[in-house]
């Protein structure tokens, strides 16, 4: 059954757009809200309900726009279930953020025991990120990696580990799509690598 979207969803969309109004996607200048809309769309396309779609709109709010105070505001405005999903999709709520690799390893460990709702939103987030990265790699080549804390090796490692964690927690169509995009990205990287 398709999700029914009420005024809560549109309130969350407005809130998310305002929270991220000054933020753009790394290196592209594209308004960040485009990512939030894409993730919410993927969640809805894959059977998510309104709470999951709202959490998709807000999935980066805690780590990028205010930490624990934003988490508390999300809980107040949208309820415990939405807030729990958002917190489950966040790898930190402190500023400055802890070191990249440690954050990602902790998030991967958490993902293996996460709720189905967290898994759905996280998978949709990673799928949109991978699609965007593939697009950018096609347009800019190796320079794309400079935008990411993990660089080429770390970023590809993280995608592979996310896929493994999502598969271990339970398979879904998004994971297959994510793996296909990551395979394509890795194939392009191998073809672009100089022969040794």
User: Which of 63, 125, 136, 179 is an active site residue?
Assistant: 63
63 as an active site residue: the answer is yes
Q: Give the residue extent of every domain in the chain.
A: 7-192
143 as an active site residue: the answer is no
**15-50, pLDDT tens digit by residue?**
999 999 998 887 778 899 999 999 999 999 999 999
pTM of the model: 0.93
User: Which of 64, 93, 177, 184 is an active site residue?
Assistant: 64
**99-141, pLDDT tens digit by residue?**
999 999 999 999 988 999 999 999 999 999 999 999 999 999 9
Instruction: Please name which of 43, 34, 40 lies closest in space to residue 132, comparing C-alpha atoms.
Output: 34
pLDDT band at 53 (very low <50, low <70, confident <90, very high): very high
Residues 6+ apart with CB under 8 A from 112: 165, 168, 169
Q: Above 70 in pLDDT, residue 195?
A: no
Per-residue pLDDT at 171: 67
* Structure token digits, residue 59: 């999935």
Q: Is 149 helix (H, G, I), strand (E, B) or coil?
A: coil
Give me the DSSP letters along 16-69.
HHHHTTT-B-TTT--BTHHHHHHHHHHHHHTT--HHHHHHHHHTTHHHHTTHHH
**Cα dihedral across residues 80, 84, 90, 92: positive or negative:** positive
Q: In the CATH hierarchy, which fold is given to the domain comprising 7-192?
A: Hypothetical protein af1432 (1.10.3210)
- Mean pLDDT of the 189-194 span: 82
Per-residue pLDDT at 194: 66
């Amino acid at each position: 059954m398709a999700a029914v979207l009420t005024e809560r969803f549109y309130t969350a969309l407005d809130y998310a757009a305002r929270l991220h109004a000054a933020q753009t996607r790394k290196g592209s200048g594209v308004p960040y809200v485009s990512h939030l809309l894409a993730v919410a769309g993927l969640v809805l396309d894959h059977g998510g309900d309104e709470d999951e779609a709202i959490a998709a709109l807000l999935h980066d709010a805690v780590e990028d726009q205010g930490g624990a105070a934003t988490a508390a505001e999300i809980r107040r405005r949208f309820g415990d279930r939405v807030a729990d999903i958002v917190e489950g999709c966040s790898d930190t709520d402190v500023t400055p953020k802890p070191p990249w690799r440690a954050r990602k390893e902790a998030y991967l460990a958490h993902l293996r025991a996460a709720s189905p709702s967290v898994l759905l939103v996280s998978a949709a987030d990673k799928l949109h990120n991978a699609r965007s990265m593939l697009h950018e790699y096609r347009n800019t080549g190796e320079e794309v990696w400079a935008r990411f804390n993990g660089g080429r090796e770390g970023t590809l490692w993280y995608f592979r580990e996310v896929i493994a964690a999502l598969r271990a927690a339970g398979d879904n169509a998004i994971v297959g799509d994510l793996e296909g995009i990551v395979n394509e990205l890795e194939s392009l990287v191998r073809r672009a690598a100089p022969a040794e």
